[in-house]
Each structure stands twice: as structure tokens, then as C-alpha cells.
Amino acid sequence: MILIGEKINATRKPVSMAIQSLDAAVIEQLARTQAQAGATYLDVNGGDPAREAENLLWLIDAVQAAVQLPISIDSANPGAIEAAMKKIKHKPIVNSICLEKKRRETMLPLVRDHECSVIGLLVNDIGVPRGIEDRVRMAEEMVGLLTDAGKTPDEIIVDPCFLTVYTEPNAGLDLLESIRRIRSRWPEIHIGGGISNASHGLPERKWINQSYLVLAMGAGLDAAILDPTVEGTVPLILAADVVLNRDEMAMKYIAATRTEK
């Protein structure tokens, strides 16, 4: 399971304040706590478009001073991503490319020219997908584009677009069935996205996020952008991997029970 820690995002107040005061210790601590909780990548978002590249580079320096985890570069700005590529120490994920014409045309050459994995968000110029068939059709286009750009199946992460279940009554069921169909069609790629997007507008969001995560894993999800420090999240993932026969002889689960993680 690819776990991308979501907390180092300049749209969050603690991160924004740390950037303004150049308090690298705050960022380093966020990096360490997510790594200790079980993150396998750390998402880094520079926020403010006017200072995005500068913020992104500063954040990357702070993260890499604290942990050895690879980074998910969270930006739609090709210039900021290009600059970040020169700083990173480990093969990154680019988060993300989508099917909007302008963004696709600016991002495809970038991911073609660099060794990286890529999150492909199923959104196009019309907007978010409208149901199951739309997602599968958009996934076909996305996988084709990324394959043509030289990405291997293991470097492709299709994000089926998690919509808010509160305002879209069938959003959860549509997404789960879409994951099943995409997994069946492309068994070697990764499928993942921002789980917490689904719970906006609801109280006690962690219960929605955790239940959605486990259901999505059962449908074929194997990557997620989330907060690994939320109590119970990583143990649930480890347990679900055992049930889904993704953890041979439950070795990872057993090992985790013997550590603080």
C-alpha cells in the first residue's frame, strides 16, 4: 500500500505560518511524525501561486533534512515541479496530471523527461467524472497518455476522483464500482487518491475516511493520500491487507504489532 502523508501543505495554517517565519523545525516534525506513523511518501504543497516554487523548495529542504522518505510533489505548476526535481534525493511522485487540455499539455513533457511516478486525476475540461462509465473512459485515456509518455504500469497512479458523499448520494457507490472496473482492466497500475475529500461537510470525518478507505481497498485501491497520524488509520490498513491477502503470512501486520507503529 502506497501511503502518501498529506500534512505538509501550505494551505494548512500551521504550515503556512512555519513558511512565513522560516521555522523549519515545524516542518521537520511533521515529516518525522508522518514517517513514524507509516507514510511511504510525503506530499509537499507550496500553496500560494505567487510564491509556490520558493515555498516548495524550502519545504523540500526541511523534509529531506528530517527523513529519508521520497516526496510527492503536489503542484500544477510545471516550473515549480522542474525546480523541485533538481532538489529531491529520491524518485518522486508528481501529484498530479489531469485530462484538462492546458494542464495535460504542460505536464506531459515534464513527466516524460523525468524519472517519476505520476498521479493521474480523472478530471477533464468538462469537469469531474459523471458516474462509473465516465471514470472508466477517462481512465482509458489517462493510462494511454501516461504509457505513451514512457511511464511503466508501476509508475502510474490513477486517481478516480473522490467526490463528497454528503452532497453526492451515489458518489461512494460509483467510486467503488469504478475502482473495481479500473483494477480489472489494468491490474498492474496503482489506484489511489485523496480519501478525505469524500468527507467534507460531515462531522467526525475520520469515521467516514476510515470506512471509505477500507471499502476502497476491498475494491482494489492500493494508494492513498491521507493523514497517517490519525489514530487507527494505519492499523486498519495493515489489518485490511491481511484480510485481502496482500500481506503474506501477515508478516507486516505481525511486525507492526511489535513496534510503536
pLDDT digits (tens, 9 = 90+) for 206-253: 999 999 999 999 999 999 999 999 999 999 999 999 999 999 999 999
pLDDT band at 168 (very low <50, low <70, confident <90, very high): confident
Contact present, 213 and 237 (Cβ < 8 Å): yes
Query: Measured between alpha carbons, how far is 96 from 130 in angstroms, rounded to an integer?
Result: 20
* Cell, residue 199: 468527507
pLDDT band at 111 (very low <50, low <70, confident <90, very high): very high
* Cell, residue 86: 533538481
Query: Measured between alpha carbons, how far is 221 from 210 in angstroms, rounded to an integer?
Result: 13
For the chain, give the mean pLDDT.
96
Query: Measured between alpha carbons, how far is 165 from 198 in angstroms, rounded to an integer?
Result: 6
- The yes-or-no verdict on residue 7 having pLDDT over 80 is yes
Question: Could you tell me which residues come within 8 angstroms of residue 122 by beta carbon, excluding any fewer than 6 positions away?
Answer: 98, 99, 128, 129, 135, 138, 139, 142, 158, 159, 160, 161
Query: Measured between alpha carbons, how far is 157 from 147 in angstroms, rounded to an integer?
Result: 12
Query: Measured between alpha carbons, how far is 254 from 62 in angstroms, rounded to an integer?
Result: 33
Contact present, 91 and 75 (Cβ < 8 Å): no
Higher pLDDT, 166 or 188: 188
- Tell me whether strands 190-194 and 117-121 are parallel, antiparallel or unpaired: unpaired
Q: Residue 118: what pLDDT?
A: 98
**Average pLDDT of span 142-170:** 96
Query: Measured between alpha carbons, how far is 85 from 88 in angstroms, rounded to an integer?
Result: 6
pLDDT band at 261 (very low <50, low <70, confident <90, very high): low
Query: Measured between alpha carbons, how far is 244 from 71 in angstroms, rounded to an integer?
Result: 27
Containing structural domain, residue 249 = 2-257
User: By C-alpha distance, which of 187, 191, 178, 71 is closest to 119?
Assistant: 191
CATH number at residue 61: 3.20.20.20
Give the pTM: 0.96
User: By C-alpha distance, which of 221, 207, 212, 100 is closest to 158?
Assistant: 221
Contact present, 122 and 160 (Cβ < 8 Å): yes
State pLDDT tens for residues 193-202.
999 999 999 9
Q: Which amino acid is at 36?
A: Q
**Average pLDDT of span 112-134:** 97
pLDDT band at 58 (very low <50, low <70, confident <90, very high): very high
Percent of the chain residues past pLDDT 70, beyond the cut: 99
- The yes-or-no verdict on residue 257 having pLDDT over 80 is yes
- Total domains present in the chain: 1
**Average pLDDT of span 89-113:** 96
- The yes-or-no verdict on residue 260 having pLDDT over 80 is no
Query: Measured between alpha carbons, how far is 114 from 156 in angstroms, rounded to an integer?
Result: 14
Q: Is the dihedral angle over the CA atoms 249, 250, 252, 255 positive or is it negative?
A: negative
